[in-house]
Amino acid sequence: MRWLPSPESFRNDLAAASATVDTGERLERLATLANTRLSYLELMQLDAALRKAPKPSRSRFETVRVAILASSTADHLIPAIRVAGLRRALLIETYVCPFGQVRQDLFVKGSALHAFSPDVVLFSLSTWDFLGAQPLDAPVAAADAAIAAAVNDIDALWREAVERFDATVIQQSFLDLEAPLFGEFDALAPAGPARLTARLNTLLTERAREHNVLWLDAARAMARDGRDVWFDPVRWLQAKMEIAPTAAPAFGELVARIVAALRGRSRKCLVLDLDNTLWGGVVGDDGVGGIVLGQGNPVGEAHLALQRYAKRLSERGVILAVCSKNDPAIAEAAFRDHPEMLLRREDFAAFVANWDDKAANLERIASQLNIGLDALVLVDDNPAERARVRGALPMVATPELPADPAHFVSCLADAGYFEATAFTEDDALRSAQYAANANREAARVNAGGMGAFLEQLQMTAVYGPVTPFNLARVTQLINKTNQFNTTGLRRTEAEVSHISEDPRALHLQFRLLDKFGDNGIVGAMLLTPHASDAATLELVNWVMSCRVFGRELEYEAMNILVDAARARGVTELVADHVKTERNGVVNDLFSQLGFAHAGDIGGGKRWVLRLQGYAPRRTCITRKAEADD
Amino acid sequence: MTDQDLLDALTGILRDLLDDPSIVLTMATTRPEVPGWDSFAYVNFIVAVESQLGVRFRLADVESFQTVGDIVKEVRALQR
């Protein structure tokens, strides 16, 4: 947890936070503490304070219910999981199955697990519980049959969790804690414990991929932190803890990362400082030729390694930005003229080089990219700048970068800011899409008038139902979209799949193309039958990516929806607008679309549209059904 | 560290752990006398003591401590 700064005064800060009356402010203060490096005891204290904090009626904090079904004792991991959740503005409610009761809890109706009704089920299972010791002289076929049986056994648990709770399943990798028997030959002996565990994990990851089960790689974390951190024979014998309390902070962090990713709370944008971060030296003083970067100089290679890592992250969909105290012309020249520069100016979706305050510049970057400040990570070598940004913008992640650039990449990677739960075509194209957005912006300025600009874009909306081919992207969009999100309701992939398979439901996804490129799937609508009335559908989810705001896609989407609904004999649409911290952009949406206000619901309004009276809005978007291809 | 220093340190850890500043430990205090100091809190207490004071208790000791004084005595022996 070296990326987290040390708390200034944990005891005082905790007391001050606990004494704060305003419930939202109290959680914010506790979350600030969660973003510091804490001892085991401090973690327990912070969790105790968190348990006492009432949940504010509306805030950026979101509740998620996580059940941990473990072969061994897991209660001691709970405070670390909850504090790691708080670090991401998640209020994680937890349930731990009684010792040795994984199967009973899951399969017996009326169990405590059923009463808990989890959103996420985490399986933390042990080899002694699911594989057992195999005879050492077992031939390969027999050993592999035992592993295959264990995989099927575990698969049945996953299915039950999905079918019963519509929960997202996370499987923790099995830990190899056996003492070596043959020595290095353990990996080759058919029934060698090391081989059994490794093979079980490999087969499970393959099965997990098929079933959309997520993977928590405790084995990899143990390999990194060391076995003595993760397993303590005294704790095992004393309390049957397979994961030692010393590993609790790391374990909790991994759980919270995945849960946060599921709820669209992974960071989206890597903001990089330039001097002594992306290269050695100060380009304004040393000149483009004088900075330390690239092959032949070990320090230059360390900075190049950070550039390479940033480039790889952008290839998987992380947006890159520059925030540097520099002369903009000199900073741009460094990217253009330095022969060893791996990153190019066009790799950055936002490029801010000036002498202004960094916190103000970060706000500028977030607003330029139309993403929240809590989507940013700032990598900056300067401790004073980091402290300034943490103080002004605590929601920006500012890792405590080590002094030696040799450790920049591992520090950033260990912090796990960009956890993913899927990798879609859309992610792979994101960098190109942001570059295209810069071209669109230029076109908008040249077009003079918004209407002329939209005409010139030559937009086409390609629409179709939610199918297994786009299920992952639609789920991702529903869970990552904070602004244009009418209900704020999050959905697991299983839930979206159920709706898409329900013949009474209506579901649409939209892809927007224009002359600058394909924006990918940027909108989705899910409608389910409203009460018992077959002629009324309720719009339970409507999301649209912030990348296509101001393009009239929401109007064309409603035109398309109304036509599809009419074709089904539907006469009325009901839509709830539930206000969240971030969805102010949809405040006037339904009235603009001709819906009538039909009463208030908890935290928002209900709107109704009689299809008979709906007049389609003219847009500059040509529509095209997917089947037309 | 004197016995009193150690007793103070253990008291501080237990107060933080159980979030109860009124706890007063003596060498003769036993676990059941302190409200909330159940077996789960005991494991956490041992883990916190080990990390704060830089010691590692043996399994047999962890299982055999009767009084707070026993823990103080063992910490002193391990720190020597």
CATH number at residue A564: 3.40.630.30
| Per-residue pLDDT at A546 | 84
Residue A582 above 90 pLDDT? Answer: no
| Per-residue pLDDT at A627 | 72
- Out of A45, A48, A245, closest to residue B47 by CB: A245
Q: What is the least distance, in Å, from the CA of B45 to any CA of chain A?
A: 8
B45 neighbors B18 (Cβ within 8 angstroms): no
Q: Which of A182, A170, A175 is nearest to A127 (CA)?
A: A175
* Chain B contact probe: residue of A18, A235, A238, A246 with most B CBs at under 10 A: A238
- A308 shares its domain with A235: no
- A363 shares its domain with A475: no
| Weakest-pLDDT range from A9-18, A292-301, A436-445, B21-30 | A436-445
Query: What are the CA-CA distances from residue B12 to residues A6, B15, B25, B45, B46 (Å)?
Result: 21, 5, 10, 11, 13
- 0.90 surpassed by complex ipTM: yes
How many domains is chain A built from? 3
In a domain, A254, yes or no: yes
- A517 shares its domain with A564: yes
- A407 shares its domain with A496: no
Please judge whether A234 and B57 are an interchain contact, meaning their C-beta atoms are less than 8 angstroms apart. yes
Q: pLDDT tens across A178-196, in order?
A: 999 999 999 999 999 899 9
A292 contacts: CB under 8 Å, gap ≥ 6: A279, A280, A281, A299, A300, A303
Mean pLDDT of A201-219: 96
Mean pLDDT of A524-537: 90
- A408 shares its domain with A314: yes
Answer with the one of A262, A286, A311 that is the final residue of a domain: A262
Q: Does A245 touch chain B (CB under 8 A)?
A: yes
| Per-residue pLDDT at B69 | 95
| Per-residue pLDDT at A439 | 74
Distance from C-alpha of A99 to C-alpha of A69, rounded to nearest angstrom: 9
Q: pLDDT tens across A68-106, in order?
A: 999 999 999 999 999 999 999 999 999 999 998 999 999
- A284 shares its domain with A257: no
In a domain, A213, yes or no: yes
- A146 shares its domain with A206: yes
Binned at pLDDT 50, 70 and 90, residue A547 comes out as: confident
Kindly report the CATH number assigned to the domain that includes residue A256.
3.40.50.1110
The domain locations on chain B are 3-79
In a domain, A258, yes or no: yes
Strand runs labelled E in A61-181: 62-70, 90-96, 120-124, 168-172
In a domain, A329, yes or no: yes
In a domain, A49, yes or no: no
Strands A506-514 and A459-464: antiparallel
| Per-residue pLDDT at A316 | 94
Q: What is the mean pLDDT of chain A?
A: 93
B3-79 in CATH: which number?
A: 1.10.1200.10
Q: pLDDT tens across A420-429, in order?
A: 998 888 888 8
Distance from C-alpha of A443 to C-alpha of A445, rounded to nearest angstrom: 5
Residue A628 above 60 pLDDT? Answer: no
- Which chain A residues are closer than 8 Å to B44 by Cβ? 40, 44, 76, 245
Answer with the one of A234, A262, A290 that is the final residue of a domain: A262
Please judge whether B62 and A234 are an interchain contact, meaning their C-beta atoms are less than 8 angstroms apart. yes
Interface size between A and B, measured as CB pairs under 8 A: 47
| Per-residue pLDDT at A120 | 97
- A132 shares its domain with A203: yes
Binned at pLDDT 50, 70 and 90, residue A318 comes out as: very high
- A101 shares its domain with A169: yes
Mean pLDDT of A240-252: 96
Q: Does B58 touch chain A (CB under 8 A)?
A: yes
- A246 shares its domain with A274: no
Answer with the one of A391, A414, A437 that is the final residue of a domain: A414
- Which residues constitute the domain of residue A331? 269-414
Residue A446 above 80 pLDDT? Answer: no
Instruction: Measure CA A212 to chain center.
Output: 15
- A79 shares its domain with A201: yes
Q: pLDDT tens across A472-506, in order?
A: 999 999 998 888 999 999 998 899 999 999 999 99
Residue A351 above 70 pLDDT? Answer: yes
Residue B43 above 90 pLDDT? Answer: yes
- State the distance between the two ends of chain B, measured CA to CA, in whole angstroms: 10
The count of residues in chain B is: 80
Helix axes A23-34, A10-18, angle to 10 degrees: 160
Distance from C-alpha of A437 to C-alpha of A551, rounded to nearest angstrom: 12
Q: Which H/E stretch holds residue A129?
A: helix A127-130
| Per-residue pLDDT at B14 | 97
Tokens of A135: 């005879």
